[in-house]
Amino acid sequence: MTTITNYVQAASIEMALQALADNKMSGRFLAGGTSLMPILNLLRYQPGVTHTLIDIKHIEGLRTIELQADELVIGAAVTLSELTKHQLVLEHAPVLVRVAKVIGSREIRNRATLGGNLCSGDPRADLLLPTMALLARLQFVHMDDPNVMGMSEFLAQGNRARQHAILTHIYIPIAREVRWGYSRLAEKSMGRCNIAAMALVAGESGSLKEIGLVVGGEALWPQYFTGLHIGSGAKGSILTLAEKVVSEIAAGKVGWSDYRTATAVTVVYEALEELMNNEANA
Ligand SMILES: Cc1cc2nc3c(=O)[nH]c(=O)nc-3n(C[C@H](O)[C@H](O)[C@H](O)COP(=O)(O)OP(=O)(O)OC[C@H]3O[C@@H](n4cnc5c(N)ncnc54)[C@H](O)[C@@H]3O)c2cc1C
């Protein structure tokens, strides 16, 4: 059986980092536990594996949502339920609310946190897409080295970013006016996404020249395409763009099936189509 040798309830970021330093091999941050605990359950038959859970969800500074200058600053331990109901998030980052609402069930969202979702090490984590599309920056704090990074750097660093530091805050710029289209396919009714796409256009409505598109999902860390063009805006040209983007993603990917291409094209198409409709109604 796996033995959880230690449980530390951290009252501050410093205490959490100290506990991590004291338990170099076995320390793991625990937020909502909805991703971590199922993994630890699976590992319980590995003899000799031990873990020290460092509970960070009671650290007060990690549970706040506030405006600072022209950024929305969200604490990493804010739960998804808190996120979806908060007036500042509804007002300044509604797309985050929209995506958070499709995650798991109400019970899961009551425990799961934004930071836990981003740090779960799973490319299917749904909040990676809107966080990237919103050009969010992530504040990680190491023992003596705070480090703010963009999503691309975070994804490039992979485990290194998460394992030795605590994600404390997510900074979302709120100045640019953005319109969205979003689509997601999950094969299980309450499960992580297989493929998801978010299309966006910034600036004044009617200027659909420069479209951004973020696509991610199973075995696919989110990729951000910028400067895309839809041509006439007719359904045929939306489909052409969707096929072009997906063939770029699929190029060189081992095990990428025709089924995956078909579902990805559909999801990208739907995101672009919704963006077009929203733009037309703006
Ligand atoms: C039934 C079910 C359905 C689910 N459906 C979805 C879904 O639809 N979409 C989806 O994206 N996910 C889904 N999940 C996965 C999970 O619920 C989410 O990813 C959730 O947001 C994880 O957050 P948490 O707070 O529970 O993370 P935890 O489980 O506490 O932590 C996850 C990982 O992140 C690390 N971590 C947590 N916080 C920090 C931090 N601040 N700094 C550094 N590292 C940190 C932990 O050490 C751990 O490795 C589902 C899970 C279940 C059980």
Domains and CATH numbers, the chain: 3-55 (3.30.43), 60-173 (3.30.465.10), 178-281 (3.30.390.50)
Q: Is 3's pLDDT higher than 90?
A: no
How many A from CA of 103 to the centre of ligand 1? 10
pLDDT interval class at 118 (50, 70, 90) = very high
What is residue 86's DSSP assignment? -
Contact between 156 and 58 under an 8 Å Cβ cutoff? The reply is: no
- In angstroms, what CA-CA distances link 262 with 53, 256, 275? 41, 11, 20
Q: pTM, whole model, 2 decimals?
A: 0.94
pLDDT interval class at 146 (50, 70, 90) = low
Distance, in Å, from the CA atom of 173 to the CA atom of 188, rounded to the nearest integer, reads: 33
Q: Tally Cβ neighbours within 10 Å of residue 102.
A: 14
What stretch of H or E contains 29? strand 27-30
What is residue 114's DSSP assignment? H
Query: To the nearest whole number, what is the mean pLDDT of the chain?
Result: 90
Contact between 190 and 105 under an 8 Å Cβ cutoff? The reply is: yes
Q: What pLDDT does 13 receive?
A: 92
pLDDT interval class at 190 (50, 70, 90) = confident
What stretch of H or E contains 6? strand 3-9
Mutate to test the pocket of ligand 1, among 7, 64, 80, 117 (most ligand atoms within 8 A of CB): 117
Establish whether residue 206 lines the binding site of ligand 1, counting it when its CB lies within 6 angstroms of any ligand atom: no
Please give the number of the atom of ligand 1 that sits closest to the Cα of 140. Answer: 42
Average pLDDT over residues 258-271: 96
Q: Is 2's pLDDT higher than 60?
A: no
* Tokens, residue 62: 């990690």
Mutate to test the pocket of ligand 1, among 110, 119, 159 (most ligand atoms within 8 A of CB): 119
Q: What pLDDT does 252 receive?
A: 79
Contact between 164 and 20 under an 8 Å Cβ cutoff? The reply is: yes
Q: Is 273's pLDDT higher than 60?
A: yes
Q: Is 207's pLDDT higher than 60?
A: no
Q: Is 49's pLDDT higher than 90?
A: no
Ligand 1 atom 1: the closest Cα is on which residue?
Answer: 104
